Amino acid sequence: MAHPKRKISKTRRNKRRTHYKASTPQIATCSSTGETHLYHRAHWHEGKLYYRGKVLIDNIEAAEA
């Protein structure tokens, strides 16, 4: 019966046995700007921070004040 020369670690063994594979991240399109971004993440567009189509932070107004 064949015996391995070295012990295979649990991590290496589990990596081989897994069926879970990383998938590509889902990308959403903002309804107000048309910018693509990751789901459930705020994104910057032209100096403004948007989340769910609404402006959270406006850097242009903050710089002028």
Statement: residue 3 has pLDDT above 80: yes
What share of the chain has pLDDT > 70, as a percent? Answer: 92
39: CB partners within 8 A, 6+ apart: 25, 26, 27, 28
pLDDT, greater one: 32 or 62: 32
| Residue in the block written with tokens 């048309």 | 34
How do residues 5-35 score in pLDDT, each as one tens digit? 999 999 999 988 888 877 888 999 999 999 9
Beta strand 48-51 pairing with 43-45: antiparallel
Helical H segments across the chain, by residue range: 10-17, 59-64
